[in-house]
Copies of this chain bind each other. A is one copy, B any other.
């Protein structure tokens, strides 16, 4: 049995092995609410109100079928006992998850979405008699709502409300400012029984594989209060003729008032469910239309046309889940701009509210996390450039946006383990977005050490180097290089915003920085990662471990820091020293002794995270760097190495439809190549840009769409459809003996495509 397949027509991945080595996840979200779902449809979801995270359901869900003739029952979405189902598969969709089963003449379809405008998850259950006789069955749905908002169970109560056709969970607590105190589980169809209490539904000593409540004719069907384990369970009694289908919608959500539940529960209909599902499909279809790729590599096509888009769109709103990392959101928006320019604009403006007055952003917002990582500012210009390039909308730079009060140095809290969170602290003081970007650059240029390099403070991209700069002396070579890249982008902003008079100043500053990097930042054959508070080199051949890091080398290319020849040498070193069967390690060899002059990274076990794993965010930087140097084969081979189907890494266990942030590195003693998680990674955005902007070379620029492909040598023909500033470009790439771009039959002298018509047919001849 295979693991599953891409269903290109329906934009689904169909999981056929329902018991992968670890659960395979999908993410469902609106702009207020998100959740993960595994191949069974299980997984926690939560809604955010300002900075408060309100969990809605804790994740356990089951759809049971009981045959009323035999009394036998089973979970149709989990099949605990692994019976021989005729059909058992999970359709991983864009904005939905659908688990389908057929067993003993009953077909079930269990579909899950996060509706657009409710703080809720919606379910749709469809049961069909595919047998040759009439069937009498009970259908049970259960989930675990997060009903106890404080540890005082005595506040809590749950009961079924016939008028609302919903179980209502209340937790009216003294002195409790948590939003959305009410929780509900609404049903479209009438129920035969219900339960709210885990002890009676599941049984005190049973598992969900064998819930006690199902042994009775009818669920307990009474309310409860003072309960430590609530469930929401509905029982429906069906008599199905041959071929007959029954369906119901179910919604589990939260509300501010009990009154609202009356309204919300009325929305719980199959009709509304289908409308929401259509919305998801339509919304995602927009993303597909923007960029469509046909290469000889069908997986590459799937990734770029469908799945990476979805994954990075998650990141542009939700960061990495637990909070919205400023840098994470910024990078994902940079990749997202083409999908929905209006939403991209909104998210950029929202993020920029989280800069201090000195221009430095906080590390994470909603909730606001104050550990003084120092790289936030470098990610701003690229998001702005990406947005303006995509839209030609310079007006974003005129928007007035407030700051967080104070400066980052005043507010810094070096407390990583216990998390120093702060409430939102926006001021009335505001400036233009342009000024926000300028201050970001000024901050980086001012926060420099005795060697002229940008200071580490709490760490940079490498947030596990969190002890290198605590004393305010350690300097980061990588962050200095990244600042050079940011200044390159800022110069474009100055130019397009009519501030060319400032270019010379920033250009001089940039050169100063480049000189410092070259003087103080180079080791035997590569750039250092940095120098810590004690003057000790990080990423040097002087050291017994962590002699070389990946990112300073790749970013030297991204920042165009040197001659092409020197940069090529640098990338040769990357190939020689950092390559492994399934990617490129973040550093080598891994630290083996924790050092309080280095930080977290040095305490991590070998091959974990920054300490020598194949950290794919960094690998995606490397892919872009390869393309910038014209090394299409290297770039493509690197993509293949980190892909789920790399034959040299058969136990990577990663979802085929999602990229992972990490494979344990080759030095890991127990599980080299294993991926513990996916989705929550900046890899998706950078890989998407790597494929579209650098491999295919379809680059939005301020002047228009630039074409600069860098395909691997065995790609002969490639097709791309790109919608850019309301213009459709149908691009065919053909391998040739010359480089030439033909637009609507005319060879053009630029590599920037024309604008003005509704569509263009473009042929790109490449060597």
Contact = CB atoms under 8 A, between A and B. Distances in A.
B225 A600 contact: no
Interface stretch (A93-101, A123-131, A154-162, A694-702): A154-162
Given A602-B174, A605-B226, A199 B611 contact: no
A572 interface: no
A274 interface: no
Contacts of A209: 207
Contact of A605 (B154, B594, B671): B154
A43 interface: no
Interface residues of A, number: 49
A574 to B, nearest CB: 24
Given A223-B669, A225-B668, A608-B226, A173 B603 contact: yes
A500 interface: no
Contacts of A80: 205
A603 B150 CA distance: 12
A21 interface: yes
A172 B224 CA distance: 45
Interface in A136-193: 150, 152-157, 172-176
A608 B225 contact: yes
Dominant secondary structure of chain A at its interface with chain B:
loop
Interface string A550-573: 000000000000000000000000
A17 to B, nearest CB: 12
A417 interface: yes
A676 interface: yes
Interface string A587-605: 0000000101001101111
B664 A22 contact: no
A670 B200 CA distance: 13
A508 B157 CA distance: 50
B417 A600 contact: no
A153 B670 CA distance: 14
Interface of A: 19, 21-23, 80, 150, 152-157, 172-176, 199, 204-205, 207, 209, 222-226, 228, 416-417, 466-467, 594, 596, 599-600, 602-605, 608-609, 611, 664, 668-671, 676
Given A80-B205, A152-B600, A174-B600, 20 more contacts: A153-B676, A154-B604, A154-B605, A155-B603, A155-B604, A156-B605, A157-B605, A173-B417, A174-B596, A174-B602, A175-B417, A175-B467, A175-B599, A223-B669, A223-B670, A225-B608, A225-B669, A226-B664, A226-B668, A228-B676
